[in-house]
Amino acid sequence: MHKLYLKRCAFLFILALGVFLYSSPKVFAHELSGYAAGELRLFPNEALYPGQNEQSASFAFQPEYYHEFKSGSSFTFVPFVRVDSGDQERTHFDIRELTFLWLEEDFELRVGVRKVFWGTTEVLHLVDIINQTDLVENTDTEDKLGQPMANLSLSRDWGTVDLFWMPFFRERTFAGTGGRLRGATIVDEDRVQYESAAEEWHSDWAFRYSHTFGDLDLGLSQFLGTNRDPTLLDGTDSSGNAIFIPKYEQIKQTSIDASYVVGDWLWKLESLYRTGQGNDDYFAWAGGFEYTFVGVLESGMDLGLVGEWMFDTREEEATTAFENDIATAIRLAVNDAASTEALLGWVQDLDTSARFLFLEASRRFGDNWLLTAELRTFLNQPMEDFLFEQRDDEIMQIELAYYF
Protein backbone atom coordinates (compact mmCIF):
# COMPACT_ATOMS: atom_id res chain seq x y z
CA MET A 1 0.00 0.00 0.00
CA HIS A 2 1.01 3.59 -0.59
CA LYS A 3 3.21 4.86 2.25
CA LEU A 4 1.83 8.38 2.06
CA TYR A 5 -1.63 6.97 2.33
CA LEU A 6 -0.72 5.11 5.49
CA LYS A 7 0.82 8.28 6.90
CA ARG A 8 -2.32 10.21 6.05
CA CYS A 9 -4.44 7.54 7.71
CA ALA A 10 -2.29 7.67 10.82
CA PHE A 11 -2.72 11.44 10.83
CA LEU A 12 -6.51 11.11 10.50
CA PHE A 13 -6.52 8.54 13.25
CA ILE A 14 -4.63 10.81 15.64
CA LEU A 15 -6.86 13.73 14.67
CA ALA A 16 -10.03 11.71 15.23
CA LEU A 17 -8.67 10.38 18.52
CA GLY A 18 -7.87 13.93 19.61
CA VAL A 19 -11.34 15.19 18.74
CA PHE A 20 -12.78 12.17 20.50
CA LEU A 21 -10.79 12.66 23.70
CA TYR A 22 -11.41 16.39 23.72
CA SER A 23 -15.09 16.49 22.83
CA SER A 24 -16.59 14.36 25.55
CA PRO A 25 -15.23 12.51 28.52
CA LYS A 26 -18.68 11.01 29.13
CA VAL A 27 -18.38 7.99 26.94
CA PHE A 28 -21.12 5.45 27.42
CA ALA A 29 -20.23 2.78 24.91
CA HIS A 30 -16.96 0.96 24.46
CA GLU A 31 -17.26 -1.88 22.05
CA LEU A 32 -14.92 -4.39 20.52
CA SER A 33 -16.25 -6.91 18.04
CA GLY A 34 -15.19 -8.47 14.76
CA TYR A 35 -14.18 -11.78 13.27
CA ALA A 36 -11.29 -14.08 12.46
CA ALA A 37 -11.69 -16.50 9.58
CA GLY A 38 -9.89 -19.37 7.93
CA GLU A 39 -10.58 -19.96 4.27
CA LEU A 40 -9.80 -22.76 1.88
CA ARG A 41 -10.04 -22.36 -1.89
CA LEU A 42 -10.00 -25.30 -4.25
CA PHE A 43 -9.75 -25.04 -8.02
CA PRO A 44 -10.70 -28.41 -9.51
CA ASN A 45 -9.40 -27.55 -12.98
CA GLU A 46 -5.73 -27.39 -13.80
CA ALA A 47 -4.32 -23.88 -13.88
CA LEU A 48 -3.95 -22.27 -17.32
CA TYR A 49 -1.07 -19.96 -16.44
CA PRO A 50 2.32 -20.65 -14.85
CA GLY A 51 2.62 -19.85 -11.15
CA GLN A 52 -1.06 -20.47 -10.38
CA ASN A 53 -2.15 -22.98 -7.75
CA GLU A 54 -4.89 -25.58 -7.52
CA GLN A 55 -5.61 -24.68 -3.92
CA SER A 56 -4.87 -22.01 -1.38
CA ALA A 57 -5.44 -21.41 2.29
CA SER A 58 -5.78 -18.06 3.94
CA PHE A 59 -6.55 -16.33 7.18
CA ALA A 60 -8.37 -13.03 7.68
CA PHE A 61 -8.87 -10.86 10.75
CA GLN A 62 -11.16 -7.86 11.05
CA PRO A 63 -11.64 -6.37 14.53
CA GLU A 64 -13.99 -3.44 15.02
CA TYR A 65 -13.65 -0.83 17.70
CA TYR A 66 -16.61 1.46 18.35
CA HIS A 67 -17.19 4.30 20.74
CA GLU A 68 -20.32 6.34 21.19
CA PHE A 69 -20.63 9.65 22.97
CA LYS A 70 -23.64 10.83 24.90
CA SER A 71 -24.42 13.24 22.06
CA GLY A 72 -24.81 10.30 19.67
CA SER A 73 -21.55 11.16 17.89
CA SER A 74 -19.24 8.20 17.49
CA PHE A 75 -15.85 6.87 16.54
CA THR A 76 -15.23 3.65 14.58
CA PHE A 77 -12.00 1.85 13.68
CA VAL A 78 -11.99 -1.29 11.52
CA PRO A 79 -8.65 -2.59 10.27
CA PHE A 80 -8.50 -5.67 8.05
CA VAL A 81 -5.71 -8.09 7.26
CA ARG A 82 -5.49 -11.22 5.11
CA VAL A 83 -2.63 -13.65 4.75
CA ASP A 84 -2.93 -15.94 1.72
CA SER A 85 -0.82 -18.93 0.75
CA GLY A 86 -1.60 -18.87 -2.96
CA ASP A 87 -1.25 -15.26 -4.08
CA GLN A 88 1.04 -12.69 -2.53
CA GLU A 89 -1.22 -9.91 -3.85
CA ARG A 90 -4.05 -11.37 -1.77
CA THR A 91 -1.96 -11.02 1.37
CA HIS A 92 -2.89 -7.46 2.23
CA PHE A 93 -3.81 -4.95 4.90
CA ASP A 94 -6.45 -2.26 4.72
CA ILE A 95 -8.18 0.24 6.93
CA ARG A 96 -11.81 -0.51 6.19
CA GLU A 97 -13.10 2.18 8.52
CA LEU A 98 -11.61 4.92 10.66
CA THR A 99 -14.35 7.44 11.10
CA PHE A 100 -15.49 10.12 13.38
CA LEU A 101 -19.21 10.80 13.11
CA TRP A 102 -20.37 14.19 14.33
CA LEU A 103 -24.09 13.99 14.89
CA GLU A 104 -26.13 17.15 15.23
CA GLU A 105 -29.84 17.89 15.13
CA ASP A 106 -29.75 19.09 11.49
CA PHE A 107 -26.71 17.36 10.01
CA GLU A 108 -24.34 14.39 10.14
CA LEU A 109 -20.69 14.94 9.34
CA ARG A 110 -18.37 11.98 8.89
CA VAL A 111 -14.65 12.44 8.56
CA GLY A 112 -12.23 9.60 7.93
CA VAL A 113 -12.07 6.33 6.07
CA ARG A 114 -15.40 4.69 5.27
CA LYS A 115 -17.48 2.46 3.09
CA VAL A 116 -20.63 3.73 1.38
CA PHE A 117 -23.03 1.64 -0.67
CA TRP A 118 -25.38 2.89 -3.38
CA GLY A 119 -27.71 0.63 -5.29
CA THR A 120 -30.61 -1.77 -5.34
CA THR A 121 -29.79 -4.77 -7.56
CA GLU A 122 -28.33 -8.06 -6.35
CA VAL A 123 -25.94 -9.41 -8.98
CA LEU A 124 -24.22 -6.34 -10.44
CA HIS A 125 -23.58 -3.29 -8.27
CA LEU A 126 -23.56 -0.86 -11.15
CA VAL A 127 -23.92 2.61 -9.63
CA ASP A 128 -21.92 1.90 -6.45
CA ILE A 129 -18.83 4.05 -6.98
CA ILE A 130 -17.62 5.69 -3.76
CA ASN A 131 -15.34 2.83 -2.72
CA GLN A 132 -12.72 0.99 -4.72
CA THR A 133 -13.29 -2.75 -5.15
CA ASP A 134 -10.96 -5.03 -3.21
CA LEU A 135 -10.94 -7.48 -6.10
CA VAL A 136 -8.45 -9.93 -4.60
CA GLU A 137 -10.90 -10.57 -1.76
CA ASN A 138 -13.68 -11.78 -4.02
CA THR A 139 -14.51 -11.29 -7.68
CA ASP A 140 -18.15 -10.57 -6.78
CA THR A 141 -16.95 -6.94 -6.21
CA GLU A 142 -18.75 -6.73 -2.85
CA ASP A 143 -15.53 -6.30 -0.86
CA LYS A 144 -14.36 -2.70 -0.81
CA LEU A 145 -11.29 -0.75 0.24
CA GLY A 146 -11.79 1.97 2.82
CA GLN A 147 -12.23 5.39 1.17
CA PRO A 148 -10.89 8.54 2.87
CA MET A 149 -13.55 11.22 2.81
CA ALA A 150 -15.53 13.94 4.43
CA ASN A 151 -19.28 13.33 4.09
CA LEU A 152 -21.93 15.85 5.04
CA SER A 153 -25.42 14.43 5.23
CA LEU A 154 -28.54 16.55 5.56
CA SER A 155 -31.80 14.81 6.29
CA ARG A 156 -34.91 16.86 5.59
CA ASP A 157 -38.62 16.24 5.08
CA TRP A 158 -38.11 16.43 1.33
CA GLY A 159 -35.20 14.01 1.23
CA THR A 160 -31.61 13.35 2.20
CA VAL A 161 -28.70 15.17 0.61
CA ASP A 162 -25.17 13.80 0.85
CA LEU A 163 -22.04 15.62 -0.18
CA PHE A 164 -18.76 13.69 -0.44
CA TRP A 165 -15.24 15.05 -0.70
CA MET A 166 -12.66 12.35 -1.37
CA PRO A 167 -9.10 13.70 -1.18
CA PHE A 168 -7.28 10.44 -1.90
CA PHE A 169 -7.84 7.68 -4.44
CA ARG A 170 -7.46 3.97 -3.78
CA GLU A 171 -6.14 1.71 -6.54
CA ARG A 172 -7.99 -1.48 -7.31
CA THR A 173 -6.35 -4.68 -6.09
CA PHE A 174 -5.63 -7.33 -8.73
CA ALA A 175 -4.63 -10.99 -8.46
CA GLY A 176 -0.89 -11.62 -8.75
CA THR A 177 1.02 -14.39 -10.52
CA GLY A 178 -0.02 -17.04 -8.01
CA GLY A 179 -3.68 -16.05 -8.04
CA ARG A 180 -6.53 -17.68 -9.90
CA LEU A 181 -9.61 -15.82 -11.16
CA ARG A 182 -7.49 -13.62 -13.40
CA GLY A 183 -6.67 -13.29 -17.08
CA ALA A 184 -3.48 -14.48 -18.77
CA THR A 185 -1.87 -11.06 -18.37
CA ILE A 186 -0.87 -9.79 -14.95
CA VAL A 187 -1.92 -6.27 -13.98
CA ASP A 188 1.21 -4.41 -12.91
CA GLU A 189 0.07 -1.98 -10.23
CA ASP A 190 3.52 -0.36 -10.02
CA ARG A 191 3.05 1.01 -13.54
CA VAL A 192 -0.25 2.72 -12.73
CA GLN A 193 -1.21 5.75 -14.83
CA TYR A 194 -3.52 8.61 -14.03
CA GLU A 195 -5.20 11.09 -16.31
CA SER A 196 -4.97 13.75 -13.61
CA ALA A 197 -1.58 15.29 -12.87
CA ALA A 198 -2.53 15.15 -9.19
CA GLU A 199 -2.59 11.35 -9.56
CA GLU A 200 -4.08 9.70 -6.48
CA TRP A 201 -4.28 13.03 -4.67
CA HIS A 202 -6.97 14.30 -7.02
CA SER A 203 -9.99 15.56 -5.08
CA ASP A 204 -13.04 13.55 -6.11
CA TRP A 205 -16.54 14.82 -5.40
CA ALA A 206 -19.93 13.22 -5.21
CA PHE A 207 -23.43 14.45 -4.57
CA ARG A 208 -26.46 12.34 -3.81
CA TYR A 209 -30.13 12.96 -3.24
CA SER A 210 -32.24 10.13 -1.86
CA HIS A 211 -35.77 9.89 -0.61
CA THR A 212 -38.67 7.55 -0.04
CA PHE A 213 -41.92 8.33 -1.81
CA GLY A 214 -44.35 5.79 -0.36
CA ASP A 215 -43.46 2.49 -2.01
CA LEU A 216 -40.67 4.04 -4.09
CA ASP A 217 -37.12 4.49 -2.82
CA LEU A 218 -35.14 6.74 -5.12
CA GLY A 219 -31.50 7.81 -5.29
CA LEU A 220 -29.97 10.32 -7.74
CA SER A 221 -26.20 10.67 -7.72
CA GLN A 222 -23.48 12.62 -9.44
CA PHE A 223 -19.82 11.61 -9.25
CA LEU A 224 -16.90 13.71 -10.49
CA GLY A 225 -13.44 12.28 -10.23
CA THR A 226 -11.14 9.34 -10.65
CA ASN A 227 -12.60 6.26 -12.26
CA ARG A 228 -12.67 3.28 -9.89
CA ASP A 229 -12.74 0.85 -12.77
CA PRO A 230 -9.45 1.23 -14.72
CA THR A 231 -8.81 0.81 -18.41
CA LEU A 232 -6.12 -1.85 -18.86
CA LEU A 233 -3.39 -0.78 -21.33
CA ASP A 234 -1.01 -3.25 -22.97
CA GLY A 235 2.58 -3.05 -21.79
CA THR A 236 5.68 -5.13 -21.22
CA ASP A 237 7.70 -5.59 -18.06
CA SER A 238 11.52 -5.36 -17.82
CA SER A 239 11.91 -8.97 -18.97
CA GLY A 240 9.72 -8.39 -22.00
CA ASN A 241 6.61 -10.19 -20.70
CA ALA A 242 3.22 -8.77 -21.58
CA ILE A 243 1.55 -6.92 -18.71
CA PHE A 244 -1.46 -4.71 -18.20
CA ILE A 245 -1.03 -1.13 -17.05
CA PRO A 246 -4.07 0.15 -15.14
CA LYS A 247 -5.10 3.63 -16.23
CA TYR A 248 -7.44 5.68 -14.10
CA GLU A 249 -9.26 8.38 -16.08
CA GLN A 250 -11.19 11.38 -14.86
CA ILE A 251 -14.88 10.64 -15.30
CA LYS A 252 -18.30 12.12 -14.72
CA GLN A 253 -21.03 9.71 -13.77
CA THR A 254 -24.71 10.47 -13.35
CA SER A 255 -26.79 7.68 -11.91
CA ILE A 256 -30.19 6.68 -10.63
CA ASP A 257 -31.11 3.79 -8.37
CA ALA A 258 -34.63 2.89 -7.38
CA SER A 259 -36.69 0.18 -5.82
CA TYR A 260 -40.45 -0.08 -5.89
CA VAL A 261 -42.63 -2.35 -3.78
CA VAL A 262 -45.79 -3.77 -5.35
CA GLY A 263 -47.37 -6.34 -3.05
CA ASP A 264 -44.96 -9.28 -2.77
CA TRP A 265 -42.86 -7.90 -5.63
CA LEU A 266 -39.83 -5.72 -5.27
CA TRP A 267 -38.81 -4.02 -8.54
CA LYS A 268 -35.33 -2.57 -8.91
CA LEU A 269 -33.46 -0.37 -11.32
CA GLU A 270 -29.95 1.02 -11.49
CA SER A 271 -28.76 3.09 -14.42
CA LEU A 272 -25.79 5.30 -15.17
CA TYR A 273 -24.41 7.62 -17.81
CA ARG A 274 -20.64 7.99 -17.79
CA THR A 275 -18.32 10.29 -19.70
CA GLY A 276 -14.53 10.42 -19.70
CA GLN A 277 -13.72 6.71 -19.83
CA GLY A 278 -12.57 5.64 -23.30
CA ASN A 279 -13.60 7.58 -26.39
CA ASP A 280 -17.33 7.21 -26.08
CA ASP A 281 -19.80 8.15 -23.43
CA TYR A 282 -22.00 5.28 -22.43
CA PHE A 283 -25.17 4.18 -20.68
CA ALA A 284 -25.55 1.07 -18.60
CA TRP A 285 -28.41 -0.33 -16.62
CA ALA A 286 -29.36 -3.24 -14.44
CA GLY A 287 -32.86 -3.96 -13.33
CA GLY A 288 -35.24 -6.64 -12.32
CA PHE A 289 -37.33 -8.04 -9.53
CA GLU A 290 -37.34 -10.02 -6.37
CA TYR A 291 -40.32 -12.10 -5.31
CA THR A 292 -40.56 -14.01 -2.06
CA PHE A 293 -42.74 -17.00 -1.28
CA VAL A 294 -43.22 -16.96 2.46
CA GLY A 295 -43.60 -20.25 4.32
CA VAL A 296 -43.15 -22.54 1.30
CA LEU A 297 -44.52 -26.10 1.64
CA GLU A 298 -45.99 -25.11 5.02
CA SER A 299 -42.47 -25.26 6.41
CA GLY A 300 -41.68 -21.78 7.65
CA MET A 301 -38.98 -21.48 4.98
CA ASP A 302 -38.88 -18.48 2.68
CA LEU A 303 -38.04 -18.88 -0.99
CA GLY A 304 -37.04 -15.83 -2.98
CA LEU A 305 -36.73 -15.51 -6.73
CA VAL A 306 -34.45 -12.93 -8.31
CA GLY A 307 -34.42 -11.96 -11.98
CA GLU A 308 -32.19 -9.20 -13.36
CA TRP A 309 -31.13 -7.93 -16.78
CA MET A 310 -27.84 -6.07 -17.18
CA PHE A 311 -26.89 -4.03 -20.21
CA ASP A 312 -23.99 -1.80 -21.19
CA THR A 313 -24.14 0.23 -24.43
CA ARG A 314 -20.41 -0.34 -25.02
CA GLU A 315 -21.30 -4.03 -25.60
CA GLU A 316 -18.10 -5.96 -26.48
CA GLU A 317 -15.99 -2.94 -25.50
CA ALA A 318 -17.44 -2.98 -21.98
CA THR A 319 -15.06 -3.28 -19.04
CA THR A 320 -17.53 -5.63 -17.37
CA ALA A 321 -18.61 -9.22 -17.96
CA PHE A 322 -22.24 -8.13 -17.71
CA GLU A 323 -22.68 -6.21 -20.96
CA ASN A 324 -25.91 -7.98 -21.94
CA ASP A 325 -26.76 -10.70 -19.47
CA ILE A 326 -29.69 -12.15 -17.62
CA ALA A 327 -29.26 -13.29 -14.04
CA THR A 328 -31.70 -15.57 -12.27
CA ALA A 329 -31.33 -16.75 -8.72
CA ILE A 330 -33.19 -18.63 -6.02
CA ARG A 331 -32.66 -17.68 -2.41
CA LEU A 332 -33.68 -20.04 0.37
CA ALA A 333 -33.93 -18.93 3.99
CA VAL A 334 -34.65 -21.92 6.21
CA ASN A 335 -35.52 -19.66 9.18
CA ASP A 336 -33.99 -22.12 11.62
CA ALA A 337 -31.91 -21.36 14.70
CA ALA A 338 -28.71 -21.75 12.65
CA SER A 339 -29.95 -19.17 10.09
CA THR A 340 -29.27 -21.62 7.26
CA GLU A 341 -29.35 -19.83 3.90
CA ALA A 342 -28.55 -20.68 0.31
CA LEU A 343 -28.41 -18.69 -2.91
CA LEU A 344 -28.24 -20.46 -6.24
CA GLY A 345 -27.74 -18.35 -9.33
CA TRP A 346 -27.23 -18.48 -13.05
CA VAL A 347 -25.98 -15.64 -15.22
CA GLN A 348 -26.51 -16.13 -18.95
CA ASP A 349 -24.89 -13.99 -21.63
CA LEU A 350 -27.59 -13.07 -24.16
CA ASP A 351 -25.18 -12.65 -27.08
CA THR A 352 -23.10 -15.79 -26.64
CA SER A 353 -23.34 -19.19 -25.00
CA ALA A 354 -21.34 -18.06 -21.95
CA ARG A 355 -22.86 -18.74 -18.61
CA PHE A 356 -21.81 -18.56 -15.05
CA LEU A 357 -23.27 -20.52 -12.13
CA PHE A 358 -22.89 -19.75 -8.45
CA LEU A 359 -23.97 -21.22 -5.17
CA GLU A 360 -23.52 -19.53 -1.81
CA ALA A 361 -24.62 -21.16 1.42
CA SER A 362 -24.10 -20.40 5.09
CA ARG A 363 -24.97 -21.86 8.45
CA ARG A 364 -24.16 -20.85 12.01
CA PHE A 365 -22.69 -23.27 14.54
CA GLY A 366 -23.19 -22.39 18.18
CA ASP A 367 -23.40 -18.66 18.81
CA ASN A 368 -20.11 -17.58 17.28
CA TRP A 369 -19.12 -19.76 14.33
CA LEU A 370 -20.29 -19.20 10.80
CA LEU A 371 -19.57 -21.63 7.98
CA THR A 372 -19.85 -20.27 4.45
CA ALA A 373 -19.44 -22.22 1.23
CA GLU A 374 -19.22 -20.78 -2.25
CA LEU A 375 -19.11 -22.53 -5.56
CA ARG A 376 -18.64 -20.80 -8.89
CA THR A 377 -18.22 -22.21 -12.31
CA PHE A 378 -17.91 -20.85 -15.83
CA LEU A 379 -19.55 -22.75 -18.67
CA ASN A 380 -19.29 -22.49 -22.46
CA GLN A 381 -17.03 -19.45 -22.43
CA PRO A 382 -16.39 -18.48 -26.08
CA MET A 383 -13.04 -16.92 -26.93
CA GLU A 384 -14.46 -13.43 -27.27
CA ASP A 385 -16.04 -13.47 -23.79
CA PHE A 386 -14.79 -11.16 -21.08
CA LEU A 387 -14.20 -14.11 -18.76
CA PHE A 388 -12.72 -16.48 -21.39
CA GLU A 389 -9.29 -16.43 -19.79
CA GLN A 390 -10.88 -17.45 -16.47
CA ARG A 391 -12.80 -20.34 -18.05
CA ASP A 392 -10.97 -22.96 -15.99
CA ASP A 393 -11.20 -21.07 -12.70
CA GLU A 394 -14.10 -22.98 -11.27
CA ILE A 395 -13.81 -22.39 -7.56
CA MET A 396 -14.97 -24.08 -4.38
CA GLN A 397 -14.44 -21.99 -1.33
CA ILE A 398 -15.10 -22.79 2.30
CA GLU A 399 -14.76 -20.26 5.09
CA LEU A 400 -15.09 -20.83 8.80
CA ALA A 401 -15.32 -17.60 10.76
CA TYR A 402 -15.37 -16.91 14.46
CA TYR A 403 -17.30 -13.76 15.37
CA PHE A 404 -16.76 -12.01 18.68
Partner 1 sequence: MKHFYTFLIITSLLATPVFAETPEEKGLAIAKEDDKRDNGFKDFTANMVMLLKNKQGEESSRHIRNKTLEVEGDGDKSISIFDRPRDVKGTALLNFTHKVGTDDQWLFLPALKRVKRISSANKSGSFMGSEFAYEDVTSQEVEKYNYKWIRDEEYKGELSFVFERYPVYKNSGYTRQVVWLDQKDYKILRIEFFDRKNSPLKTLTQSDFKQYLDKFWYPGKMHMENHQTGKSTLLTWTNYKFHNGLSDKDFNKNSLKRAR
3-state SS record for 183-245: CCCEECHHHCEECCCCHHHCCEEEEEEEEEECCEEEEEEEEEEECCCCEEEEEECCCCCEEEE
Q: Which is nearer to partner 1, 215 or 384 (CB)?
A: 215
- Inter-residue long-range contacts of 302-308, CB under 8 Å, 24+ positions, other chains counted: 302/332, 302/333, 302/335, 303/330, 303/331, 303/332, 303/333, 304/330, 304/331, 304/332, 304/333, 305/329, 305/330, 305/331, 306/122, 306/123, 306/330, 306/331, 306/345, 308/121, 308/122, 308/123, 308/124, 308/268
Is position 120 an interface residue for partner 1 (rule: CB under 8 A)? yes
Q: Which is nearer to partner 1, 91 or 335 (CB)?
A: 335
Closest of 82, 77, 76 to residue 59, by C-alpha: 82
Stretch of 7-15, 38-46, 255-263, 342-350 lying at the interface with partner 1 (CB under 8 A): 255-263
231, 335, 348, 377: residue in contact with partner 1 (rule CB under 8 A): 335
Is position 294 an interface residue for partner 1 (rule: CB under 8 A)? yes
Stretch of 177-185, 195-203, 232-240, 258-266 lying at the interface with partner 1 (CB under 8 A): 258-266
Of 123-142, which residues contact partner 1 (CB under 8 A)? 142
Stretch of 199-207, 259-267, 348-356, 385-393 lying at the interface with partner 1 (CB under 8 A): 259-267
Is position 160 an interface residue for partner 1 (rule: CB under 8 A)? yes
Task: For the CB of residue 53, give the shortest distance to partner 1 in the complex, in Å.
Answer: 27
**Measured distance CA(63)–CA(205) in Å, rounded:** 29
**Measured distance CA(27)–CA(20) in Å, rounded:** 10
Q: Which is nearer to partner 1, 54 or 215 (CB)?
A: 215
Task: For the CB of residue 23, give the shortest distance to partner 1 in the complex, in Å.
Answer: 17
Residues that bind partner 1 (CB under 8 A): 33, 35, 66, 74, 101, 103, 105, 108, 115-117, 119-120, 142, 153, 155, 160, 210, 212, 215, 217, 259, 261, 263-266, 290, 292, 294-295, 300, 302, 335-339, 364, 367-368, 370, 401, 403-404
